[in-house]
Amino acid sequence: MSGEQLQAELQALESRYTELAARQLKLDLTRGKPSAAQVALSDALDGILGGNYRAADGTDVRNYGGLDGLPEAKQLFAGMLEMPADAILIGGNSSLTLMYAVIDFALSFGLRGPESAWGNSDEVKFLCPVPGYDRHFAICEHLGIEMVPVPMLATGPDMDAVEKLVAADPAIKGMWCVPRFSNPTGCVYSRATVERLAQLGNIAGDDFVLMYDNAYAVHTLYPDAEPLASLYAACERHGTLDSVFQFGSTSKITFAGAGVAFMGSSPANLAAFKQHLGFQSIGPDKVNQLRHVRFLGDAEGLAALMGKHAELLRPRFEAVLEILEAELAGTGMGEWLSPRGGYFISFNTRPGLAKTVVKLAADVGVALTPAGATFPYGNDPEDSNIRLAPSFPSLEDVQATAEVFALCVKLASVRQRLA
Ligand code: PLP
């Protein structure tokens, strides 16, 4: 556009923005949580036991015990992580709690005995693919672990950078991964990436831990969504099972606040962790585990439920993507990916504009995830990434929000251009 055309465009955008402000909107696209209709899909959980509190082996699930979970729950969730049932431990309602507990244990007590405690070293570092999940970063920050960003590519973390860093710096004790429909980019790690991740345990020291958070393992929006290669099988081949903890939960399958969380690892890791866990609890909520087993049934039951979630989620994702495409494609004002699953759309503005766009939206009543939240310490060096979470609001609100968002991106971009 010529200078004059840009000025005219700016005026048009400013007046549309002023009109929006007058509408006193109150919209929110910040929360990556399931909608009311989604959680209602699992209402049958309530009362499903019908007075039958016996697990398959006769255990009365109302009573104490069973520190690592019911066998049938292990069986069900092992399938989600593509691991054998005896490599699984079932926790409470939150996989984040399990992740925190593993890191806390490795820091304070050591996965391989007191000598191996990370806390014995002055420096403990974690590799963090960026953009990534703010709560992973918050755990590191809270526990005093220094975060080292590595770029996220369409195939997963930049493995050349990861391998170089792990080989060069023994203070790097771990790495975060969200391998399928990553939060927030939505990418699925390629087979080659999974293969290389499985070999990190042979490059790093034996106290290295890959925190493999498969939160969106079965959360597809389309039946042909890209599958994820099995990390467990690759680790078996490379003899590195001890270097990986895998996590999952039913938070975005059944009830986000009352689901079942689980993790999988090697026999040595599970034994060490269980021994530690025994000091904290006599056992988890087995009633909820049994309710989930009866409700979900098997892999087919799980897939059928995920299909119903996809029916609710797909229109919301498509609404955002259609508006981005119509308003911003080919303008050079932003880049985004079209995820085939998960809960987020990741948008990159032109450098230096993410905070401005989020503020412009907030000033007309549209809440977006704070700029920088997808980076360690809230610091996006390019000030460019914004995470959009379309699952929770109504379809109409998602559409209205995406329109405001596109307008704010345009306004910020044109203002920057003319500055
Ligand atoms: N891991 C990732 C990547 C997530 O995006 C989320 C929620 O948004 C969680 C974990 C939370 O899991 P949970 O509810 O099991 O603690």
With b for 16 or more beta-carbon neighbours within 10 A and e for fewer, the 257-286 pattern comes to ebbbbbbbbbeebbebbeebbeeeeebbbb
Q: Cα–Cα distance between 272 and 208 in angstroms, integer?
A: 15
pLDDT score of 368 more than 90: yes
pLDDT score of 31 more than 90: no
Is there a single domain that holds both residue 264 and residue 164?
yes
The whole-number average pLDDT for the span 240-253 is 98
Is there a single domain that holds both residue 190 and residue 266?
yes
pLDDT score of 24 more than 90: no
Q: Encoding tokens for residue 206?
A: 């034996």
Q: Which pLDDT belongs to residue 328?
A: 98
Is there a single domain that holds both residue 351 and residue 370?
yes
CA dihedral 224, 233, 101, 75 (to 10 degrees): 70
For the chain, report the end-to-end CA distance as a whole number of angstroms.
15
User: What separation in angstroms does the CA of 190 have from each of 112, 187, 216, 232, 347?
Assistant: 31, 9, 15, 15, 21
Count of all residues that appear for the chain in the document: 419
CATH number at residue 20: 3.90.1150.10
Q: Which domain holds residue 96?
A: 62-297
Residue nearest to atom 2 of ligand 1 (CA): 215
Residue nearest to atom 6 of ligand 1 (CA): 215
Q: How many structural domains comprise the chain? A: 2
Is there a single domain that holds both residue 198 and residue 340?
no
Distance from the CA of 335 to the center of ligand 1, in angstroms? 25
Is there a single domain that holds both residue 89 and residue 205?
yes
The pTM of the whole model exceeds 0.90: yes
Ligand 1 pocket test target in 251, 288, 346 with most atoms within 8 Å of CB = 251
Residues 118-172 have pLDDT tens digits of: 999 999 999 999 999 999 999 999 999 999 999 999 999 999 999 999 999 999 9
Residues 60-96 have pLDDT tens digits of: 999 999 999 999 999 999 999 999 999 999 999 999 9
Is there a single domain that holds both residue 156 and residue 276?
yes
- Residue where a domain terminates, one of 297, 327, 350: 297
Mean per-residue pLDDT of the chain: 97
Structural domain contains residue 45:
no
Is there a single domain that holds both residue 368 and residue 408?
yes
Q: Cα–Cα distance between 28 and 368 in angstroms, integer?
A: 6
pLDDT score of 25 more than 90: no
Concatenating the DSSP letter of every residue in 373-384 gives TTSGGG--TTS-
Residues 95-123 have pLDDT tens digits of: 999 999 999 999 999 999 999 999 999 99
CB-CB neighbours of 322 under 10 Å: 12
Is there a single domain that holds both residue 149 and residue 292?
yes
Q: Which pLDDT belongs to residue 189?
A: 98
Q: Cα–Cα distance between 48 and 46 in angstroms, integer?
A: 6
Beta bridge partners of 261: 249
Residues with CB under 6 A from ligand 1: 32, 94-96, 133, 178, 183, 213, 215, 249, 251, 261
Structural domain contains residue 35:
no
Residues 211-232 have pLDDT tens digits of: 999 999 999 999 999 999 999 9
Q: Cα–Cα distance between 42 and 29 in angstroms, integer?
A: 24
- Residue where a domain terminates, one of 247, 275, 297: 297
Q: Cα–Cα distance between 222 and 205 in angstroms, integer?
A: 40
Backbone angles phi, psi at 156, to 5 degrees: 115, -165
Distance from the CA of 96 to the center of ligand 1, in angstroms? 6
